[in-house]
Amino acid sequence: FMQAAYIEEFFDGLDFITIRGNYGISDAVEIISTPGHTPGHQSVVVHGDRTDYIYCGDIAPLRENLEKRNIVGVLFNPVEALESLDLLRSLKGVHIFPHDNEQLHL
Contact assessment for residue 60 and residue 75, using Cβ atoms and an 8 Å cutoff: no
Query: Which of 11 and 77 is assigned the larger pLDDT?
Result: 77
pTM attached to this predicted model? 0.85
Secondary element (H or E) of residue 84: helix 78-90
Q: Tell me the per-residue pLDDT of 44-100, one tens digit each, with 9 for 90 and over.
A: 999 999 999 999 999 999 999 999 999 998 899 999 999 999 999 999 999 999 998
Q: Tell me the per-residue pLDDT of 16-52, one tens digit each, with 9 for 90 and over.
A: 888 999 999 999 999 999 999 999 999 999 999 999 9
The Cα angle at residue 103 between residues 60 and 44, in degrees rounded to 5: 45
